[in-house]
Amino acid sequence: MPTSEPLPRGKVLLRDDPLPRGPWARLESDHAIVGEGSRRLFTFDLEGRLLEAFVDGVGYRRGLDNRFLERRRLPGAPGLSRRLRRHLSAAEARDVVDLACRTAARAREGGYPAVPALDFDALEDDARRFAAVYRPIGILPPDQYLSIVVQLTSGCWYNRCTFCTFYRDRRFEVRSPEALRRHIQEVKAFFGAGLLRRHTVFLGDANALVLPAARLVDALAAVREALDGREVFGFLDAFSGRRKQAPQWAELGEAGLRRVYVGAESGSDGVLRFLDKPGTAADVLANVRAMKEGGIGVGLILLLGAGGRAFAQEHVRQSIALVNAAGLGRGDQLLLSPLVIPQQAPYARLAAQAGIEPLSPAEVRQQAEAILSGVRLGRGARWSYYFVEEFLY
């Protein structure tokens, strides 16, 4: 892992110490936390970028584009997450950052370590640098929001699934080996000491892993050499005839690939056709089995509510069959992602034409419970929800 200059230390607050009622600060090896009692907590990377805040019961996450997402609990709501989510206005975001900076300053005055805390204008500048380094990052799996994204490819080569608009604004492009090396250096320069907080690499965008294995091995070598051997993760959700076999996945595993997130969406071919996914459940299963045989972890993503009421029973039954046939075990994940239809996506129009009604939030919840009651996950596999509307990078 990279090292950075040690920050000056003041009063030391250990993790198990009771939190002081007033402002305090604690430096960790890869991030810093500033707080006021336990009511207010602000997490920074070691470049002073605010990452997360918790203020009087409300949680905030900040993206590198300087957008802020507020999350607060909504007890009794019928949906799955029972959380209100909304993006803050610039004025609201500025207030959160100002409060974080003031708390950091007061903690320093109280003798705690000096935590670097960028003010809102500096964060706006940082967001402009971010935009110069990256194409917009459409989506990441929920456990990879703090990864270092390396855009080996841009966009999705298929780009036709009816519910997905993540990459409609761009053509699929692949960086040459030289361009990839330059990109990685730009990424490192952008993050600076903030790299320490990011323990994995995500090979973006969607479907970078459709590239030939030899090309991927070279890319993985470049990534790992530059980023201190961090493990690499990626998506694969458009299946083509160029399927990799177990030995090729094993080769990629040796080169540092740890887990592939597979956008299976459903075990039902009827649902997959309706979504205009390129392939069948059998294709998904063959890919997953090859990955697992090659020693690669799998994150299998199912789309809750896909195909609405018309497909609900088939979707549940066939998805359970797919998951159980996949034999998920150690290092694998099952991710249940409630369908979110962007305005510009064809899905809503096609569903209306076909007379397909969406599931209500309560029905989506029931669908999740039905799938979970039917699947058998092996030892070491875990499942979680995947709320795409909570994504920020």
Catalog residues that contact ligand SF4 under the rule CB under 6 A.
156, 158-161, 164, 166-167, 206, 237-238, 263
Which is closer to ligand SF4, CB of 72 or CB of 160? 160
The answer to whether residues 315 and 271 touch, using CB atoms and an 8 Å cutoff, is yes
Q: Please, what is the minimum distance in Å from the beta carbon of residue 393 to ligand SF4?
A: 16
CB proximity list for 94: less than 8 A, separation 6 or greater: 120
Of 164 and 302, the one with the shorter C-beta distance to ligand SF4 is 164
Of residues 82 and 160, the one with the C-beta less far from ligand SF4: 160
Q: What is the DSSP string of 109-147?
A: HTT--------HHHHHHHHHHHHHH--------GGGTTS
Largest Cα–Cα distance in the chain? 66
Q: Which of 225, 204, 221 is nearest to 213 (CA)?
A: 221
Nearer to ligand SF4, 112 or 158 (CB): 158
Q: How far is the CB of 161 from ligand SF4 (least distance, A)?
A: 3
Q: What is the DSSP letter of 375?
A: -
Smaller CB distance to ligand SF4: residue 149 or 206? 206
The C-alpha atoms of residue 173 and residue 155 are separated, in whole angstroms, by: 7
Q: Which of 165, 147, 85, 159 shows the shortest CA–CA distance to 345? A: 165
Q: Which is nearer to ligand SF4, 168 or 188 (CB)?
A: 168
Q: How far is the CB of 307 from ligand SF4 (least distance, A)?
A: 15
Helix (H) or strand (E) holding 72: strand 68-73
Minimum distance between the CB of residue 279 and ligand SF4, rounded to whole angstroms?
A: 10
Cβ atoms of 9 and 154 within 8 Å: the answer is no
Q: How far is the CB of 276 from ligand SF4 (least distance, A)?
A: 8
Select 46 or 208, whichever has its Cβ closest to ligand SF4: 208
R_g over Cα of the chain: 22
**Paired tokens of 102:** 């003031």
For residues 72 and 83, give the distance between their C-alpha atoms in angstroms, rounded to a whole number: 5
In the complex, what is the shortest distance from the CB of residue 2 to ligand SF4, in angstroms, rounded to a whole number? 31
Question: Closest approach of Cβ 186 to ligand SF4, in Å?
Answer: 24
Q: Are 112 and 24 in contact (CB under 8 A)?
A: yes
